[in-house]
Amino acid sequence: MTTNPSVAEPSAMHRLLHARSVAVIGASEDRGKFGGRLIHNLLHHGFQGTVYPINPKRDTILGHRAYPDIADVPSPPDVAAVAVPVQHLLASLQGCVDAGVKVAIVITGQLAETGVEGAKLQDDAVAMARAAGMRILGPNCLGAFNTPAGVCLSPSVTMSVDKLHKGRVGVASQSGALQTAMFIRAFDAGIGFSSAITLGNQADLELSDGFEYLVDDPDTEAILLYVEGLKDHERFKRAALRARAMGKPVVAVKAGRTDAGAAMANSHTASLTGSFEAFSALCESLGIVVTDQPDTAVFCADALARWGAPKASGVAVASGSGGAAALAADAIDDGNFHAARLGPRAIAHLAEHLPVRKETANVDFGAYLRAFDPAVMRDTLETFADEPDVGAVLLIMTPQPAMESLVEIMRDIGSMRGVPALLCNKAGSMVRDQLEADARVTGYPTYTSLDDCYRVLEALMAYRQFQEEGLTQETGDAPAGAIDASASALSPGLLTEPEAKGLLAAAGVPVTSEVICPDVDAAVQAAREIGFPVVLKGVARGLIHKSDAGVVKLNIPDVAAVRSAFAQIQDAIADNALEAAFEGSLVTEMAVGGVAEAFVGAAWDPQHGPGVLVGAGGVFVEVMKDVKFAAAPVSAAKARAMIESLQTFPLFDGARGRPKADVAALADIVHRVSLLAAHLGPRLRELDVNPVIVRAAGEGALAVDARAVWTIME
């Protein structure tokens, strides 16, 4: 038999989720066991392929012939699901290898997540599989399912539901239990999944394998990721960019936002979480919506699959309670959206039904002249949905007449007009059963929490902003030759200020005129050439906070002061007892004429790649912590947007009669530092440029001081 080389071999994830034959090692009729639940769930949800239960103590299991060993099955299964005690894992996987299995799902836990011994066992299992060309999902996972294909390879108790709703959302999760919690919350709300994949310890197949599958899956319209740690951020980026190019929204929930969360994630799946800020910045650069609640993330992904980007960023609110409408108005003011502005037609409509004139899209149906009239409520909600500035409609349903009509009205608006229409049930048990039954039939969700609604609105508007910004922003190329030449002689560790500034200058960042001087006579000569007044700074490897150490002397007016300052700096460095010797003093120009000081930085995150920061600068940068972080590189336009989003931006924009600063020049520095960070990658572990003196508009900006941490890559 010949093969067509132009036809791509199906991925391991595709083989798994489209399996036609499955062996279950550890199969049982006891649903109290993982193997029992797995085979029951597989058959319960209509698997049409061949099932090979593996159990040496049984002749049949659930009506299927059982085999004592996987070596006894008549043909190689597409997938083997392994649910055995950890001490039998290697033998079971060897059996899979010998039987010609291509993909094994390892439910078994107590491996890398438990410590060194478990990690070694996990490594041995992966090495065995890879040597034979077999892929592993897990271990320590809860499998996967594909609703359209009728393949349910999960031992989760949540799979005991009567049927799996076919939905638009595909899920890849590093936590099995959390994914099943998301599933049941979605199920109760009427939301179905296309496929759901749990990765567990990611010993072999990892999050990006699931991500890539969902990007290519024609049954998936939006993707939901639960992330504890990325193994390959470049692969993750490629998958995200393909999703964005194909118009598939992506929502991510990231664990490890705090030190406690990071520690728990590590014990849970042996993942290294990395920096949450770096992850969020990476996602923003890729158009991925980030949220911090897995339950709400399900609603966000469903909303994005259902509606995509809203036509506008305004929100219209209606309720049976003036108080609820007022609270919603407050929340909208706090969000990344606004109360919708009404046009003449909508204003005229409200004038017919309210005793007072109203021009905002926030109404209380109880205050209408014909309160709670279904026809009037429909007319109002449809009028709102048609307004150009209304991107979404939020209905807060409190106990009131005609509640069943409101459910139908909102579903019609959301389904037929294509405008996000969110119904929040605040009438409790009065309509809960009706709403849940309706949702399961129609697949149209309702919400019970206003906080969930606000997060969905945030996600919709964030995705709209990503779409408006476009797929990519042109960032340009780094001056690679000059940067590499400057970097060629650097040694690992904390760079000196001249070395750090050398990298900046190579990237095109304007820096102060300066000369490194090993002795006082050279310092005097340099000061005369630069022109008084000058600044002297001590240079010694390992010296971080120069001002605190007393080795920065400002506004030096003449030769005598240079000699005095040089001696004081030399003595101060000796007093600091640094391991490295005094290398001299840096003589620099005294930068004047600034109207503001900024901080610009770069950092490498092992999981998420390079990032760039900008914020308020000077000696209080660590106290104020007013910084914005973005994945590098960024365009000058993106850099300017970062600056304008700072809380202290008014200081750059002429607050209280101050001259306006040259924000364009500062944005160019941020842009160039981002190119430097992206080009150098993990070699540039950290870079702080502080202060950057920003002069008046049109007069430029200047990097005055810098420090960096350098790494030599093996």
- DSSP assignment of 590-645, as one string? ----EEEEEEEEEEEETTTEEEEEEEE-STTHHHH--EEEEESP--HHHHHHHHHT
Is beta strand 701-703 parallel, antiparallel or unpaired with respect to 684-695?
Answer: antiparallel
Contact 92, 25 (CB under 8 A): yes
Instruction: Determine the pLDDT at residue 5.
Output: 44
Instruction: Determine the pLDDT at residue 141.
Output: 95
Q: Is the pLDDT of residue 714 over 90?
A: no
Q: Which of 360, 294, 351 is nearest to 325 (CA)?
A: 360
Q: Phi and psi (nearest 5°) for 230? A: -95, 135
Instruction: Determine the pLDDT at residue 395.
Output: 94
AA identity, residue 440 = R
Lowest mean pLDDT among 32-46, 311-325, 555-569, 607-621: 607-621
User: pLDDT band at residue 325, thresholds of 50, 70 and 90?
Assistant: confident
Angle at the Cα of 459 from the Cα atoms of 453 and 462, rounded to 5 degrees: 140
Angle at the Cα of 287 from the Cα atoms of 282 and 288, rounded to 5 degrees: 70
Contact 183, 161 (CB under 8 A): no
- How many secondary structure helices (H) and strands (E) does the chain include? 25, 30
Q: How many CB atoms within 10 Å of residue 168?
A: 19
The residue-averaged pLDDT of 82-88 equals 94
The residue-averaged pLDDT of 44-54 equals 97
User: pLDDT band at residue 404, thresholds of 50, 70 and 90?
Assistant: confident
Q: Is the pLDDT of residue 264 over 90?
A: no
Instruction: Determine the pLDDT at residue 577.
Output: 62
What are the residues whose beta carbons fall under 8 Å from the beta carbon of 90, sequence distance 6 or more?
121, 124, 125, 128
**Mind listing the domains of the chain with CATH numbers?**
8-155 (3.40.50.720), 165-308 (3.40.50.261), 312-447 (3.40.50.261), 594-710 (3.30.470.20)
Instruction: Determine the pLDDT at residue 624.
Output: 65
Q: On the CB side of 121, how many CA atoms lie within 13 Å of its CA?
A: 23
Q: Is the pLDDT of residue 268 over 50?
A: no
Lowest mean pLDDT among 125-129, 541-545, 557-561, 664-668: 541-545
Q: Is the pLDDT of residue 481 over 60?
A: yes
Residue 65, strand partner residues: 60
Instruction: Determine the pLDDT at residue 271.
Output: 43
Q: Is the dihedral of CA 432, 436, 437, 438 positive or negative?
A: positive
Give the helix ranges, DSSP H, for 446-495.
Answer: 450-469, 480-487
Q: Which of 183, 173, 179, 170 is nearest to 221 (CA)?
A: 170
State if pTM tops 0.85.
yes
Query: What are the tens digits of pLDDT across the range 368-400?
Result: 999 999 999 999 999 999 999 999 999 998 888
Q: Is the pLDDT of residue 266 over 60?
A: no
Instruction: Determine the pLDDT at residue 297.
Output: 94
Q: Is the pLDDT of residue 472 over 60?
A: no
Q: Which of 247, 251, 346 is nearest to 292 (CA)?
A: 251
407 vs 20, more confident: 20
User: pLDDT band at residue 229, thresholds of 50, 70 and 90?
Assistant: confident
Q: Is the pLDDT of residue 438 over 50?
A: yes
What are the residues whose beta carbons fall under 8 Å from the beta carbon of 645, sequence distance 6 or more?
628
Instruction: Determine the pLDDT at residue 353.
Output: 94
Instruction: Determine the pLDDT at residue 444.
Output: 86
Going from the C-alpha of 592 to that of each of 692, 695, 696, the distances in angstroms are: 11, 8, 11
Contact 108, 140 (CB under 8 A): yes
Burial class from Cβ neighbours inside 10 Å (0-12, 13-18, 19+) for residue 63 reads exposed
> What is the rounded CA–CA span in Å between residue 366 and residue 316?
17
Instruction: Determine the pLDDT at residue 336.
Output: 75
Instruction: Determine the pLDDT at residue 134.
Output: 97
Lowest mean pLDDT among 91-105, 154-168, 248-262: 248-262
> What is the rounded CA–CA span in Å between residue 77 and residue 47?
14
Q: Is the pLDDT of residue 72 over 60?
A: yes
AA identity, residue 331 = A
Q: Is the pLDDT of residue 270 over 50?
A: no
Instruction: Determine the pLDDT at residue 468.
Output: 86
